[in-house]
Structure 1
Amino acid sequence: MIKDSSIVDDPEEGSALEPATGGSAAETPLDGMMAEERRTQILQIIRSAGRVRVNGLATRFNTSAVTIRSDLNELHQRGLVLRSHGGAVLPETILRESPVHERLKTHSDEKRRIGAMAATLIDNGETIILDSGTTTLEIARQIKKKPGLQVITNGVNIAAELLDARDVQVFIVGGTVRGESASISGHFAEQMFEQFSADKLFLSGAGCDLDFGVSGANLEETMVNRAMIRIAREIILVADSSKFSKRSMSRIALFSQIDTVISNTSLDEEVQEKLRAIGCNLILV
């Protein structure tokens, strides 16, 4: 934890941790999106500098100190920052986005088992969505010989893996390429997904907190994930046990929206019980 008296620069601020409201009751969907984009930028600043001050952020975003305090309180409630009198700091427990080449090396055995199990749930001739995760990459490696399969993806890694799959038709959406995640995001990608319909979505996500939901580290990418959810008849989460009880920046889906969870056998028993109580079909491999 970072401690520095210099972050206390707002003498008019009251309690160090005020209740997070997540915006006013009259907030429109557009206002909500603007607030979420501002919070994403604030988090990026904190990750770069280690700490921020309310007054400095209010000046930078040309908004009120009250609004900035609300943003910081919301980020604190999500577990992404540590709220402090006068500002916020970056706690050591924040789940940050790792480059895709690093994630490929972590929990690789678990991901292979999860990917193999997920592939058994796919029937010949189905239309499926694979997001750009490294666990979904393992699914792509397992389905190359399934006849008549149609795969929709925002993953450059997924499309590249399926280049030699003669029996699989691949649709990759357009937009902005993110090198960190080998993914495509942005409004074009969202709009393209709205033109499709899919039998199953295989979703990975960066964090899986049972209260907050499945979350991602990049707002634009999570918006694409939400577009996937809207067009899929069945939502299947593929996530190894290391992702659970962790939160990332932006919510993709609540667990009440998830039909099936595939994870590894070391998943905490309390988490298993809660998932089943929510109504998720839990498969452990």
Structure 2
Amino acid sequence: MRSEERHHRLLTLARQEGRVEVAAAAADFGVAPETIRRDLSELERRGLVRRTHGGAYPVESAGFETNLAQRVTMHTENKRRIAAEAVKLLAGAETVFVDEGYTPQILAAQLPTDRPLTVITASLSTAAAVAEAPHTTVLLLGGRVRARTMATVGSWTCSMLSGFVIDLAFMGANGISRGSGLTTPDPVVADVKAKAMEVSRRRVFLGHHGKFGASSFVRFAEVSDFETIVTDTGLSSSEAHRYTLLGPQVIRV
């Protein structure tokens, strides 16, 4: 098998499964693990995957984006710890924007239910997760529903957001880097995220370590726009410190 064919098959596998394992790919392709490692390093150099211990996962771009079902199965334990830590930053906020994505959805389910709270979201899944809480008012933003993420986008979504003044926004992203800021593959998704940032007094980013250093297609915010970043210990302390130099506190859990 030529290297170009291996690269294509590895990238396809990563995008279909959400991750590719070096040992399994080497056995399937009949090559040495070191060959797969070199292939993945080349794909990483081209910005198509991100290396992890023992494998790699795909980087999302204008032409590729994981769906919600895939996100539920990736980095699950890290996402649960991140959500549990991020919810502690609620403080006295009475109105909260919760972004689309699986980690924000986990966070939404952990929001306090013993006091009045208004949750604004474009995510159908998040709205469903908190709709039955006795003291929670849920405002689901209208618009076109993207089947891939089950969240609304478009001019109606942004128009509704523009009428609010929100205490705290819990934001996600497909990639975050010190140079490119926070990015996402789709311009219409970026519009909603940017508007949520604009109308919120405080902003917290939550995302697993694999999103750091990755850049997608459309920038919607700068690192300095956030007061806090919550991630896992897969992000090294030295790299976390580099992000703090741009302004936000970085919490690793």
Question: What TM-score comes out, normalization by structure 2 length?
Answer: 0.75
Gap regions ≥5 residues in structure 2: 6-44, 50-58
Could you tell me whether the CA contact under 8 Å between 2:131 and 2:137 is conserved in 1? no
How far did 1:253 drift? Answer: 0.5
State percent identity of aligned pairs.
25
One of 237, 241, 251 as aligned partner of 1:269? 237
How far did 1:272 drift? Answer: 0.6
Matched, 1:186 2:147: no
Counterpart Cα distance in 1 of 2:112 and 2:246: 33
Could you tell me whether the CA contact under 8 Å between 1:125 and 1:150 is conserved in 2? no
Matched residue, 1:121? 89
How far did 1:133 drift? Answer: 1.3
- Offset from partner CA, 1:188-229 (integer Å, 9 cap, x none): 100100011111100011111111011111110110000000
CA RMSD of aligned residues (A): 2.3
How far did 1:143 drift? Answer: 1.1
How far did 1:268 drift? Answer: 2.3
SS in 2 for 1:278: coil
Deviation beyond 4 Å, 4+ runs, structure 1: none
Question: What TM-score comes out, normalization by structure 1 length?
Answer: 0.67
In our comparison, the structure showing a higher alpha carbon Rg is: 1
| Letter matched to residue 152 of structure 1 | I
Could you tell me whether the CA contact under 8 Å between 2:93 and 2:167 is conserved in 1? no
Could you tell me whether the CA contact under 8 Å between 1:173 and 1:193 is conserved in 2? yes
How far did 1:252 drift? Answer: 1.4
Counterpart Cα distance in 2 of 1:129 and 1:206: 18
SS in 2 for 1:205: coil
| Letter matched to residue 214 of structure 1 | L
Matched, 1:203 2:171: yes
Matched, 1:162 2:103: no
Aligned length: 203
Could you tell me whether the CA contact under 8 Å between 1:146 and 1:167 is conserved in 2? yes
How far did 1:2 drift? Answer: 6.1
Counterpart Cα distance in 2 of 1:211 and 1:133: 23
CA shift in 2, pair 1:102/1:211, >3 Å: same
- Offset from partner CA, 1:60-107 (integer Å, 9 cap, x none): xxxxxxxxxxxxxxxxxxxxxx9xxxxxxx864442310101101111
Matched residue, 1:152? 120
SS in 2 for 1:121: helix
Gap regions ≥5 residues in structure 1: 4-81, 83-89
CA shift in 2, pair 1:275/1:140, >3 Å: same
